[in-house]
Structure 1
Amino acid sequence: MYNRFEKLFTPFKIGSMEVKNRIVMSPMGTNSANIDGRISVDEIDYFEERAKGGVGMIITGCMFLTKDLAQGSLEGVLEDNYVIPTLTELCEAVQRYGTKICAQISCGTGRNAFPNMFGDPPVSASAIPSQFNPDVLCHPLTVEEIKAIMDQFAAAAKKVQMAGFDAIEIHGHAGYLIDQFISPIWNKREDEYGGSLENRMRFAVEIVQSIRSAVGKDMPILFRISCDHRFNGGRTLEESEKMLKILEDAGVDALDIDAGSYESIDYIFPPTYLGDACMAYVCKAARKAVSVPLLNSGNHTPETAVKLIESGDADFAMFGRQLIADPHTPNKLLENRRQDVRPCIRCNQDCIGRIVDRLTKISCSVNPRACFEKRFIIEETKSPKNVVVIGGGPAGLEAARVAALKGHQVTLFEKHGILGGQLTSAATPSFKRPLRDLIKWYEVQLAKLRVKIELNTEIKKDDDPILEKADRIIVAVGAVPTNPPISGIDGSNVIGIIEAHLNKELVKGENIVIAGGGLSGCDSALELAMEGKKVTIIEMRQSVGPDVMFINAAALMPMLEKYGVRLLPGHKVLAFDTRGVKAQKTDGSEVFIEADTIITAFGVKRNNKLFEDISSKYHIKTRPVGDCETVGNVGTAVRSGFFAGLAIE
């Protein structure tokens, strides 16, 4: 049978190392290492699962030279010899599947150190402001300190070679410390490490030379670099071409290239708004500049990965969060099972979001087993039960899937004619295609697992024949919109945001006002503005989108500006009428905003009445999940459903 992904499964060499296919796992920190610098057993299990899933090569998240340079990040530290045994265990766990493993080594984040992690002032090339706390000036490294770092690179490289890694990657990316030396916007030095291109590249070149002196000529060295910083004053693609050539001449065996910096942080963790293959554009120029193999990441799908390899502009397509979401993506593509690939929804909530917001290890919004591979094992039950799931949103779908995987007999009841719950409405914008893919993936999986699905069927508290026969009842009826008592809210020109998504014909006229500037209001505004509507967002809080994760907001807010969405924070809605909205500003003055259609996006509240009614009769066997239990996001809903399904023995 023809396999359109066949090109991804041809071998290719980096130096003397042959990689079995063209799929590489992008380097991503897990924040799961032990405090003494050793990587954790959880991280070994995490990478082993991705190797088992068929990826050609895994590049670890950056391991730091010393605890001081790590500045609080819970990644591996290569300072002491006692880290070698667990690194050896990692290498052999991955290599048993024929997957190569590459150790990414970093001398630190420099000015990009998170303020909740660093203690002393961050180090950098120059005395420049810290990225996240501009009041703190970085300590410029002295020449003596630079020489010490070179010795540390050599020592670290020797350790990972002894552990059994197949290759080493230097982290020169994203405005981290090495990038701060090679970029004139951050490097203000006047010694041999500053000024001319040759001088600014000296730090990076000496790192390559130090590693090469430690590991010999045969171990491949890769270099990760952003070719386009994407902010005013940052490095351009044209400037990077010269740097790539210098790195090649220094002995680098392959280049891991993309775009972005912490000033354009959405390109470091590209959300759904940036679309597919959002950084593939850097490859064509890089290919002209150098002859060594090129690796490229940035929201690749299986389809864009094939296109990239076929173009000849790069030799490896890199999957990052996609392999967190589905570690078995490569094997599924190899087996021509594209429909079984669980999509990454590019939400950033439970990967980088868990690290930044909660200071804990990564996981995944659609794959709660990520980084919990050996704790959350789905094992077949010895006593199948009759499980009833009420509600076909993400929590209900995941609960049904996991319960069915365990061997239970599952029936899912959904009162509407389609599955997806609130995902269905959230997924209507073109930039939210991954959500549509997720709904489709659930439909395919539940069909394969023979979950009985009853659409257009509303379960009520007195449906005792169904409820009595169930051994377990999972209530996943989601949330309902919050509608404050505002004059005119029942007007014919006022509609809820879910209706606006699902029934575009109800959004009449050209001037649209959205009352509520949370994530759903912003997404709806962008969707309508992209269709040519004139959109205004009214938000009572002092900023629009305060609940949008800052990385995602870095992409969303410029897009709202690009498409002309008018933002009115600090405006409290007083009344609606047929002509528009009356609002009050923070200074007490009143304004009127004209609108043909008003869309209410005041948020949601949990819909727990049915659970309470059923639980009053069947408490022991009834469990709420998703927004029905606690209003959250896709990730919290999926995790809630996962736990409920997994807990049924």
Structure 2
Amino acid sequence: MKNKYANLLSPITINGMTLRNRTVMPPIGSNLATVSAEVSEEMIKYYELRAKGGTGLIIVENACVDFPMGTNGTKQCRIDDNQYVPGLYTLVERLHAYGAKVSIQLNHAGASAYAARLNGEQPISASNIPSKKGGTIPRPLTVDEMKAIAKKYGESAARAQLAGFDSVEIHGGHSYLLSQFLSPLFNDRKDEFGGSAENRARFPKMVIDEVRAAVGPRFPIAIRISADDMIQGGNTLEDSLELMEYLQEKVDFINVSIAQNDTLYLQHDKMSLPEGWRSYMAKAIRDKFDKPVITSGNFRTPEVCEEVIAKGDADLVAMGRGLIAEPYWANKVANGEEHLLRRCISCNIGCADHRLAKSQPIRCTVNPDLLFEDAYKDKQVKKSINVAVIGGGTAGLEAACTAAEVGCNVTLFEEKDRLGGLSWMIGTIPAKKKIHYFVEYLENRAKELSNLNIKLNTRATKELLDEVKPDIIINATGSKPLLPPISGLKENVDKEGGKVKSTFGFIENIDAFDKEDCKGKKIVVVGGGAVGLDVVEFFAEKGADVSDIEMLPVIGKDLDTNTKLDAYHMMKENNVKQLTETALQTVNESSFTVKNSDGSIEEINFDYGFVCLGMRAEISDLPMAEAYAEEKDVKLLNIGDSFRARRIINGTEEGRNILKTLEVMGAFR
């Protein structure tokens, strides 16, 4: 594998710091620090696993250099006082033991500060412009305040040295304080810190100067930038190339990111974006300044990473979400185990939405254990235990694989001719194809297990269960479209040759829709949830005239932050008509009758109409399983969407929880 990925797996030295390979874990907030902002054991284990997995450089999540005005999260770590050095030292020590180099990101949130910590004070920024639409209005910093903050960056960098870090990164992007000076989106100052590129770069340059003075010449410093704000009126790549002329001299390498708060769906690389899609920006920075650069952008597979480095677009590849999903990414690539890579599907649920919208600790849709990974495999059952799994979707597969990996004899029944369930079906939508990564990983994982017997095209029956003699039955039969008793729906939906389709009807005909010229065709979608918006996006981007009908006052109410921002942008760009507070009354062959918010009745014609009102648990097999379990006195678990229709992350977690059931049963040695 070293020859196949000679560039990706080769070392690189940056100002005396030698990395074992070109993989980087960039700084991603985890909400794993203590309430008092110190490093926790949980946080150490989280990073330690990525070091153990072979990552070259780990950049620890952004640390606050000026509390409380600079804080940006509920449980963000701090580096603004020496009391935080011992915990950070222990963190670095544990990561160094596995051969990783360790950096930490220094940050001041500015206008993006976490309001609950400001004790009623107004946040600070370059100007009085919020860092996102609807955000708190900040006050402009004085020159003396800027000088004081720059010194705090320097003092924090010195603490990072004391704690044993190999490098520091200064955050100059993503709508935080330095970005608020660099970007004309936020900076309309009339003094020497606003206006021209040189002026807008003046305060960030002060920060870099203070950091360099604090750490000396032989300590690597990186700066992370939003190379393109991806918003009209913001910095373009060309603007950033000019700004970097004033910032690059005293930094050793550059972490090239993109976007601001209002383009978060690009900063976090929405699912539909290809791997390495923004590497051209890193190449432009690298070519102009001849300094090592880090690139990022939905990297998942080693072939793409190798190509980007080999052709000189970047020197290092950052995989934040990729390493959350697969901490052993580098080692698996080096050891020829690419088929067992648990690739991130770019859903942004547990990693982004948990932290940004819900103040929850970091989690992952495809990885149910971010701290211990495969440690559960060290526990093996002490006697023969038979497990029957009904349903081969992602929840059922996770349960089946986990049970087999600890020594259970597992039989999985799937009535269809392939595994993956709803996840596989949703993954056939072009914008959602990365969901197939998870199904493919589970299938490959299952193939490694001789004690896991998968029976496709087989519906579980009492007789088949008798053959298995299960000690545990897991019902994981998933979900199906919710089709309420609306007049005309049953008669018209998914009828052969008909114009009205359910969610499944859309997916089953997606190849035909993809080939069809949809430009100008009238498409009406009922339902403004995740699946409804998938249908909206599919047709809107094919040039159709799309309307979305939603009973609630807003479309996408329960979507994660990333997807919601992307959906609103997509609908605006494609002129999608949003008919909110509108209720479906009748389904006709080529029209929907709806009741508008004012009580009026309207008929809306279409070329195709889609009823996407969510999903409901598919439990047709559950009564049989319940009766069998009661008769035989065996344990029955109902997991995933067959318990309640939700997200993939819930089913993955519940599938792994078979370990808890086995533990309670006293099954382990």
TM score, norm. by length of structure 2: 0.91
Equivalent position amino acid for 2:656 in 1? F
Contact 1:72 1:118 in 2 (8 A): no
1:92 aligned residue: 93
Q: 1:376 to 1:17 in 2, by over 3 A?
A: same
Listed as ranges, the matches of 1:570-589 within 5 Å are: 570-589=581-600
1:638 aligned residue: 652
- Cα deviation, 1:511-555, whole Å, max 9, x if unaligned, reads 443222211111123234445655433222233322222211222
Aligned mates of 1:444, 1:301 — CA distance in 2: 17
Aligned mates of 2:2, 2:129 — CA distance in 1: 56
Listed as ranges, the matches of 1:316-327 within 5 Å are: 316-327=316-327
- Higher mean displacement: 143-152 or 408-417: 143-152
Listed as ranges, the matches of 1:396-415 within 5 Å are: 396-415=396-415
Out of 622, 627, 642, the position equivalent to 2:636 is: 622
Q: Does 1:362 align with 2:362?
A: yes
Out of 497, 500, 508, the position equivalent to 1:502 is: 508
1:598 CA displacement? 2.8
Aligned mates of 2:363, 2:637 — CA distance in 1: 24
1:294 aligned residue: 293
Equivalent position amino acid for 2:109 in 1? T
- Cα deviation, 1:28-64, whole Å, max 9, x if unaligned, reads 1111111222111111111111111111101111011
- Higher mean displacement: 14-23 or 502-511: 502-511
1:443 CA displacement? 0.9
Q: 1:368 to 1:544 in 2, by over 3 A?
A: same
Aligned mates of 2:334, 2:36 — CA distance in 1: 39
1:558 aligned residue: 569
Aligned mates of 2:74, 2:313 — CA distance in 1: 34
Aligned mates of 1:133, 1:545 — CA distance in 2: 18
The 3-state SS of whatever aligns with 2:61 is coil
1:632 CA displacement? 0.9
The 3-state SS of whatever aligns with 1:246 is coil
1:18 aligned residue: 18
Contact 2:26 2:320 in 1 (8 A): yes
The 3-state SS of whatever aligns with 2:586 is strand
Aligned mates of 2:511, 2:142 — CA distance in 1: 65
Contact 1:31 1:355 in 2 (8 A): yes
Out of 534, 541, 546, the position equivalent to 2:552 is: 541
Contact 2:280 2:313 in 1 (8 A): no
1:229 CA displacement? 0.3
Aligned mates of 1:375, 1:537 — CA distance in 2: 46
Listed as ranges, the matches of 1:49-448 within 5 Å are: 49-68=49-68, 69-70=70-71, 72-106=73-107, 108-115=108-115, 118-119=118-119, 120-129=121-130, 131=132, 133-134=134-135, 136-249=136-249, 251-302=250-301, 303-371=303-371, 379-448=379-448
Aligned mates of 1:314, 1:598 — CA distance in 2: 46
Aligned mates of 1:361, 1:132 — CA distance in 2: 25
Equivalent position amino acid for 2:333 in 1? L
> Once the two structures are aligned, what percentage of the paired residues are identical?
33
Equivalent position amino acid for 2:218 in 1? D
Aligned mates of 1:495, 1:477 — CA distance in 2: 22
- Higher mean displacement: 202-211 or 364-373: 364-373
Q: 1:571 to 1:275 in 2, by over 3 A?
A: farther
1:96 CA displacement? 1.7
Q: 1:116 to 1:410 in 2, by over 3 A?
A: farther
Contact 2:109 2:176 in 1 (8 A): yes
Contact 1:245 1:289 in 2 (8 A): no
Aligned mates of 2:570, 2:276 — CA distance in 1: 18
Equivalent position amino acid for 1:572 in 2? A
The 3-state SS of whatever aligns with 1:60 is strand
1:617 CA displacement? 4.5
Q: Does 1:485 align with 2:499?
A: no
1:593 aligned residue: 604
Aligned mates of 1:480, 1:182 — CA distance in 2: 49
Listed as ranges, the gaps of 5+ residues in structure 1 are none
Aligned mates of 1:361, 1:223 — CA distance in 2: 26
1:219 CA displacement? 0.7
- Higher mean displacement: 44-53 or 490-499: 490-499
Contact 2:131 2:261 in 1 (8 A): no
The 3-state SS of whatever aligns with 1:602 is coil
Listed as ranges, the gaps of 5+ residues in structure 2 are none
1:506 CA displacement? 7.7
The 3-state SS of whatever aligns with 2:474 is strand
1:645 CA displacement? 4.3
1:87 CA displacement? 1.1
Contact 2:71 2:117 in 1 (8 A): no
Contact 1:45 1:373 in 2 (8 A): no
1:321 CA displacement? 0.1
Q: 1:458 to 1:6 in 2, by over 3 A?
A: same
1:15 CA displacement? 1.6
Aligned mates of 1:486, 1:216 — CA distance in 2: 72
1:584 CA displacement? 1.8
Q: 1:373 to 1:453 in 2, by over 3 A?
A: closer
The 3-state SS of whatever aligns with 1:168 is strand
1:311 CA displacement? 1.9
Q: 1:424 to 1:66 in 2, by over 3 A?
A: same
- Higher mean displacement: 125-134 or 594-603: 125-134
1:571 CA displacement? 2.4
- Cα deviation, 1:274-303, whole Å, max 9, x if unaligned, reads 332232231232123211111111212323
1:246 CA displacement? 1.6
RMSD: 2.4
Q: 1:562 to 1:128 in 2, by over 3 A?
A: closer
1:365 CA displacement? 0.8
- Cα deviation, 1:434-471, whole Å, max 9, x if unaligned, reads 1112111111110111321011111146755146x101
The 3-state SS of whatever aligns with 2:579 is strand
Aligned mates of 2:2, 2:20 — CA distance in 1: 20
Aligned mates of 1:446, 1:141 — CA distance in 2: 57
The 3-state SS of whatever aligns with 2:33 is coil
2:32 aligned residue: 32
The 3-state SS of whatever aligns with 2:92 is helix
1:628 CA displacement? 1.4
Aligned mates of 1:96, 1:139 — CA distance in 2: 45
- Cα deviation, 1:183-236, whole Å, max 9, x if unaligned, reads 233223344433443332221112112112221111100000011001121111
Q: 1:506 to 1:536 in 2, by over 3 A?
A: farther
Aligned residues: 645
Aligned mates of 1:372, 1:142 — CA distance in 2: 47
The 3-state SS of whatever aligns with 2:357 is helix
Q: 1:140 to 1:564 in 2, by over 3 A?
A: closer
1:132 CA displacement? 5.8
Contact 1:122 1:130 in 2 (8 A): no
Aligned mates of 1:285, 1:159 — CA distance in 2: 33
- Cα deviation, 1:152-195, whole Å, max 9, x if unaligned, reads 22221111111111001001111200111222332233444334
Q: 1:596 to 1:465 in 2, by over 3 A?
A: same
Q: 1:524 to 1:133 in 2, by over 3 A?
A: closer
1:591 CA displacement? 2.1
Q: 1:117 to 1:604 in 2, by over 3 A?
A: farther
1:458 aligned residue: 459
- Higher mean displacement: 497-506 or 479-488: 497-506
Equivalent position amino acid for 2:611 in 1? T
Aligned mates of 2:292, 2:2 — CA distance in 1: 28
